[in-house]
Amino acid sequence: MRIAVTGLGAVSGIGFGVSENIESLRTGRHGMGKPRFFQTTLDVPVSEVKATNTELAKRLNLNAERTYSRTALLGLMAAREAVADAGIDVSKKRVGFISSTSVGGMDLSEVFYNDFRTDHNRGRLRLVSQHDCGASTEFIANQLGISGFVTTISTACSSAGNAIMLGARMLQHNMLDAVVAGGTDALCKFTLNGFGSLMILDKEHCRPFDATRAGLNLGEGAGYIVLQRSEDAAHAPYCLLTGYANANDAYHQTGCSPEGNGAFGSMSAAMAVAGLQPSEIDYINVHGTATPNNDLSEATAIRRIFGDRVPPFSSVKAFIGHTLGASEGIEAVYSALSVKNGYVYPNLNFKSADEAIGLAPETEFAEGRRVRNVLSNAFGFGGNDTSLVFSRAD
Amino acid sequence: MKPVYITRTCQIANDQLVMDGVEAVLDYKEIIADPALRRRMSRIVKMGVACGLKCIEGLTPESIDAIITATGFGCLADTEKFIESIVANSERLLNPTPFIQSTFNTIGGQIALLRGIHSYNVTYAHRGLSFESALIDAAMQVNEGKKNVLLGAIDEITASSADIQRRLGMTREYELGEGANFFVLNATASGNKSAAVLDIDTRSGRLTDDKLIEWIVETANRNGIEISDLCIVANCNTATTDNIKKRLSLKNKPLQFKTCDYPTLSARALDFAINNSTANKTLIISDYQHINHSLILLGRG
């Protein structure tokens, strides 16, 4: 069975919609800046979607008087674009929606908590009723009119990769005919302070794979892809999803092993599912958060697989930040277009190679390259490592 | 999909450990030996990790092909602790432990870490269908040839969440509950109580008893089972159970299971059904807050 990618949708700090995102990647316009849309005293760059919740609601033709979690708004924007792009009839029973998020409606819960903490009878309930991860998923599914299988995955930063993988497997098992899969996450105090407490936020603009890299920048957004069996596609697909795998590093709750065992496991297994040799991978969209630990561990795993023939690779994290539960949703969209149009994305802010890594990423935007297969990585807390393989449909 | 067999069950609820339906000694010190690690763990993490570890006791790490967990609300105590520290310390000098442990996949990740299990590891967090989603994934994994798939569900009560859920009207029918339930799934039966999962179906939104009964009949028909032969485990309110009793002619009296409520209670209902129903075919009917519904059909191994 061939699984086709037939629809794409994305919103991030570098654009509303897929074409704005690609245009920013092409012209080197990143999304980093001081936090403007949520209250924090932390002075670190973040990649915010450049709109207030009210503006987002208006763009989505929602009643702007009502309360929505930002996670739900961002998710609806990207998922709606993906569904329209694929031209699928979502009213059919065997259309599924598989979403992921790492914090759900936390942006509202932390506002609720300010009143609630001193008196448990205080705090507006509408600010906390959307706290759970399933709330944004159900909201998006209802807005889209999807009434088939709906669920939410939450495995920290690899969440959306796992959502896409589940979608592909449900098509393989003939449990669904079409599935919208990806993830959404809004920035909030909770996650920014969480990564701050781990001391892995760079106060400067992050520099993936660079010798001077000193941590990550967070971002927000959403990305979804539509998957169908290729014979059911309404139009020529962007590409095929040929490989997927999740493996566990089982080394540390937040850090990654020096040998990159989990990353090695997920990349090798995803390529095995796709039936590909390392020489057939033409581009790797690396996880590349820009923490000293992640990039070294990921590079080590890549070397173990590709030896001295490492394909072109880059991290888009300096453009959009680490968007956590949304990251592989957005990056799957970029990867699909890499296969379709031969795009290779620039790894911003890379200047000097790290001797321990010994690899240099791509630094210029390219198009029309021969890209047969793209390997895309997403790694998360709990040693949770996911890799996807996107391949040419012809 | 081919049937999958549940070959082990393990439950921690009300400070009691129950393995394959038999009460056992719950000694956290023995299960999680590292005292520093144990101290750092919040109640839900300790309960979930211990339950998962007991469920795979004696199995080698290499023989476990997947760890799939489910939680409706995740690690609430850790989440609140971290939010509180953000407010109380004005975003300065925060202890990262509650943040790390607040992640929804903490329990699955910790089990993998403590036992060195490098296989597939995914967590579902989708309200009253979190466990059902995980069960569907687990059944697919077994059908894909995976062995010893560890499947678990965990939710906890905290004082704050209890107050919030009360204010939201979520405790009108039942008091809140909590617990951890883990299972090992395989393609073949083993052990004297192993049950086969034959069908899983889910619905969201309000469901009248009429529609529910129609759905039960459809499910039985699809699986070629006489309704009268079914043993029903009712993880729904007693009014619905009474209606089912009245409307369907059943040889076995339905077993009323629900006495409390939390998003992954259906996992405990599954444990109950496996270890208590003596019928050949058992149907677990679950209703979470009248918004999430599921039917899980079991056969004997």
Q: Taking CB atoms and an 8 Å cutoff, what residues of chain B touch A381?
A: 100, 103, 105-106, 109
Low-confidence residues in chain B, pLDDT < 50:
none
Name the minimum distance, in Å, from the CA of A257 to any CA of chain B: 12
Q: Taking CB atoms and an 8 Å cutoff, what residues of chain B touch A110?
A: 83, 86
Alpha-carbon gap, residue B54 to B26, rounded angstroms:
10
Low-confidence residues in chain A, pLDDT < 70:
none
Residues B218 and B280 grouped into a single domain: yes
Alpha-carbon gap, residue B181 to B52, rounded angstroms:
8
Of A147, A153, A248, the CB nearest to B117: A248
Dmax (CA) of chain A: 63
Alpha-carbon gap, residue A106 to B83, rounded angstroms:
10
Q: Taking CB atoms and an 8 Å cutoff, what residues of chain A touch B34?
A: none
Q: Do A137 and B67 touch (CB under 8 A)?
A: no
Q: Taking CB atoms and an 8 Å cutoff, what residues of chain A touch B164?
A: 116, 120, 125, 128
Of B109, B130, B137, the CB nearest to A383: B109
Residues B34 and B146 grouped into a single domain: yes
Q: Which of B32, B42, B80, B83 to mutate to test the interface with A (most CBs of A within 10 A)?
A: B83
Of A153, A194, A254, the CB nearest to B124: A153
Q: Which residues contact A338 (CB under 8 A, 6 or more apart)?
A: A283, A285, A344, A345, A371, A374, A390
Residues B37 and B161 grouped into a single domain: yes
| Residue B192 pLDDT | 67
Name the minimum distance, in Å, from the CA of B240 to any CA of chain A: 24
- The answer to whether residue B105 neighbours chain A at the CB level (below 8 Å) is yes
Q: Are A319 and A348 in contact (CB under 8 A)?
A: yes
Q: Find the length of chain B.
A: 301
Residue finishing a domain among B186, B211, B227: B186
Q: Taking CB atoms and an 8 Å cutoff, what residues of chain A touch B69?
A: none
| Residue A92 pLDDT | 87
Residues B171 and B206 grouped into a single domain: no
- φ and ψ at B71, to 5 degrees? -155, 135
- The answer to whether residue A324 neighbours chain B at the CB level (below 8 Å) is no
- The answer to whether residue A260 neighbours chain B at the CB level (below 8 Å) is no
Alpha-carbon gap, residue A105 to B279, rounded angstroms:
43
Residues 64-103 of B with CB under 8 A from A: 67, 72-74, 79-80, 82-84, 86-87, 90-92, 94-96, 99-100, 102-103
Residues B135 and B208 grouped into a single domain: no
Dihedral sign computed on CA atoms, order A306, A311, A316, A317:
positive
Look up residue B45 and give its two tokens: 């993490």
Q: Do B118 and A189 touch (CB under 8 A)?
A: no
| Residue B204 pLDDT | 93
Look up residue B174 and give its two tokens: 């039942």
User: What's the CATH number where B221 sits?
Assistant: 3.40.47.10
Cβ neighbourhood burial of A171 (10 Å; 0-12, 13-18, 19+): buried
User: What's the CATH number where A140 sits?
Assistant: 3.40.47.10
Look up residue B185 and give its two tokens: 């799934």
| Residue B1 pLDDT | 84
Residues B164 and B16 grouped into a single domain: yes
Cβ neighbourhood burial of A268 (10 Å; 0-12, 13-18, 19+): middle
Q: Do A250 and B112 touch (CB under 8 A)?
A: yes
Q: Which residues contact B173 (CB under 8 A, 6 or more apart)?
A: B237, B261
Residues 196-235 of B with CB under 8 A from A: 202, 204
Residues B233 and B267 grouped into a single domain: yes
Alpha-carbon gap, residue A317 to A320, rounded angstroms:
5
Of B73, B119, B202, the CB nearest to A132: B73
Alpha-carbon gap, residue B271 to A295, rounded angstroms:
43
Residues 125-164 of B with CB under 8 A from A: 125-127, 129-130, 133, 136-137, 140, 143-144, 159-160, 163-164
Alpha-carbon gap, residue A350 to B140, rounded angstroms:
42
| Residue B301 pLDDT | 62
Amino acid, single-letter form, for residue B201 = D
Its domain, for residue A170, covers: 3-391
Residue finishing a domain among B155, B186, B217: B186
Its domain, for residue B218, covers: 195-300
DSSP A14-58: TEESHHHHHHHHHHT---EES--SS-------EE--SS-HHHHHH
Q: Which residues contact B218 (CB under 8 A, 6 or more apart)?
A: none
Residue B211: count of CB within 10 angstroms of its CB: 12
Q: How many domains does one find in chain A?
A: 1
Name the minimum distance, in Å, from the CA of B121 to any CA of chain A: 7
| Residue A93 pLDDT | 85
Residues B18 and B107 grouped into a single domain: yes
Residues B167 and B271 grouped into a single domain: no
* Interface TM-score (ipTM) > 0.95: yes
Q: Do B127 and A125 touch (CB under 8 A)?
A: no
Pairing relationship of beta strands A221-229 and A3-12 according to DSSP bridges: antiparallel
Residues B113 and B251 grouped into a single domain: no
Q: Do B129 and A42 touch (CB under 8 A)?
A: no
Amino acid, single-letter form, for residue A309 = R
Q: Which residues contact B64 (CB under 8 A, 6 or more apart)?
A: B56, B115, B117, B119, B148, B149, B150
pLDDT digits 0-9 by tens, B140-166:
999 999 999 999 999 999 999 999 999
Alpha-carbon gap, residue B130 to A281, rounded angstroms:
36
- The answer to whether residue A196 neighbours chain B at the CB level (below 8 Å) is yes
CA B17 to chain centre: 15
Q: Taking CB atoms and an 8 Å cutoff, what residues of chain B touch A167?
A: none
Of B83, B124, B160, the CB nearest to A190: B83
Q: How many domains does one find in chain B?
A: 2
Residues B156 and B217 grouped into a single domain: no
H, E, C per residue of A252-269: CCCCCCCCCHHHHHHHHH
Name the minimum distance, in Å, from the CA of B116 to any CA of chain A: 5
Q: Do B118 and A250 touch (CB under 8 A)?
A: yes
Name the minimum distance, in Å, from the CA of B22 to any CA of chain A: 31
State which H helix or E strand residue A346 sits in.
Answer: none
Residues 162-181 of B with CB under 8 A from A: 163-164, 167-168
- The answer to whether residue B104 neighbours chain A at the CB level (below 8 Å) is yes
Residues B220 and B144 grouped into a single domain: no
Q: Are B151 and B183 in contact (CB under 8 A)?
A: yes
Calculate the alpha carbon distances from A284 to A288, A315, A347 in Å: 11, 9, 12
Q: Which residues contact B257 (CB under 8 A, 6 or more apart)?
A: B233, B234, B235, B269, B272, B273, B284
